[in-house]
Amino acid sequence: MDNMIRSLPKAELHIHIEGSLEPEMMFALAERNGVRLPYRSVEEARAAYAFSDLQSFLDLYYEGARVLMEEADFFDLTAAYLKRAHSDGVRHAEIFFDPQTHTDRGVPFAAVVSGIHAAQAAAAEESGISSKLIMCFLRDLSVDSALQTLQQALPYREWIVAVGLDSAEVGHPPEKFAAVFEAALKKGFLSVAHAGEEGPPEYIRQALDLLHVSRIDHGVRCLEDPELVDRLRAERVPLTVCPLSNVKLRVFKTLAEHNLKRLLDAGLCVTVNSDDPAYFGGYVAENLRAIRKTLHLTEDDIRALARNSFEASFLSEEEKQRYVDEIERFEGSRDCGSR
Ligand code: HPA
Ligand code: ZN
């Protein structure tokens, strides 16, 4: 089954590239760029990754991102993620980046986006993995800062498929960014938003109604609102769920208490993703393996999650169909007993 999980074609739709910064690379880049780290060793860094909530994680995540200074650093980071994802059977990734985390430290927007883009192109060439880029606004910063960031992105419109919303959720509702998203949609970007991770179901409604999102990142708190669940099912709004992240950030006390199986059973378009794998202890296959075991998912559940990941993606209808067919054939070979 673990082999099946790894080799099944899948898309990853909720991965913060800065959250794929493994401590080993953090130390190498700190050395390369002369940045001081608050840890004496890789082991000490890993040991510090014990979080009580989203904010306690964000504090270390932004601290770690300070080692990313040059275009080459963003290239190395993205190349490493895409290589790792490919080895987990990820065929397509939609990658978040947080430009304000870097531009606020004086790193040019161009260095960030050019480094990431070059690594995406190199990985596509080398392994065939495709990827798209989603620019997130930090919701705890101002609307003006988000608007400035949108302006900076315009010359790179062709490299960025969508805008998103991340960072500290509670107290920063989607409605705060309605004008920013309206401007982005007018420029041809699609939109997504983190909502219902720590924030209430109302934030999910706002993301749909005011930010016109194509999917909800996390969204696990929707189950508190049955009418909202009916709407998400009827409109087939995908949720990019991140099980190991949710446990690390104590959205659920244990993986056994995670509501992913209930979300699936409610008929929602659930996908499984790693969020910030360097901090939360698992890439996408590890997330699937853990929920399969702990939540007693069937092979059919796993195949549905893989199909959903392509359905929820920003690939073309033809590309989606190609992957869904491949997943169908994957089933066929298993049924013939050859796998
Ligand atoms: N939630 C909000 N902001 C984030 C996350 C998350 O899970 N990961 C990185 N930035
Ligand atoms: Zn996230």
54 lines ligand 1 (CB under 6 A): yes
Query: Tens-digit pLDDT profile for the chain (339 aa)?
Result: 889 999 999 999 999 999 999 999 999 999 999 999 999 999 999 999 999 999 999 999 999 999 999 999 999 999 999 999 999 999 999 999 999 999 999 999 999 999 999 999 999 999 999 999 999 999 999 999 999 999 999 999 999 999 999 999 999 999 999 999 999 999 999 999 999 999 999 999 999 999 999 999 999 999 999 999 999 999 999 999 999 999 999 999 999 999 999 999 999 999 999 999 999 999 999 999 999 999 999 999 999 999 999 999 999 999 999 999 999 998 744 544 444
- pLDDT, residue 1, reads 82
Domain 2-334, second-level architecture: Alpha-Beta Barrel (3.20)
Task: Report pLDDT for 339.
Answer: 41
Which is the closest atom of ligand 1 to the Cα of 61?
9
Q: Measured between alpha carbons, how far is 320 from 325 in angstroms, rounded to an integer?
A: 9
CA-to-CA separations, 89 to 9, 96, 282, 306, 319, in angstroms, rounded = 6, 19, 14, 10, 16
Find out whether the beta carbon of 243 lies less than 6 Å from any atom of ligand 1.
Answer: no
Residues with CB under 5 A from ligand 2 (ion): 275
- Show Cβ contacts of residue 173 under 8 Å, excluding neighbours closer than 6 positions: 199, 202, 203, 206
What H or E segment, with its residue span, contains residue 135? strand 130-138
Helix ranges restricted to H, 243-316: 243-248, 260-265, 277-280, 284-294, 299-311
Evaluate: CB of 167 within 6 angstroms of ligand 1: yes
Domain locations in the chain?
2-334
31, 65 Cβ separation under 8 angstroms: no
- Predicted confidence at residue 6, as pLDDT, reads 96
Position 2 scores a pLDDT of 85
Burial class (CB in 10 A: 0-12, 13-18, 19+), 93: buried
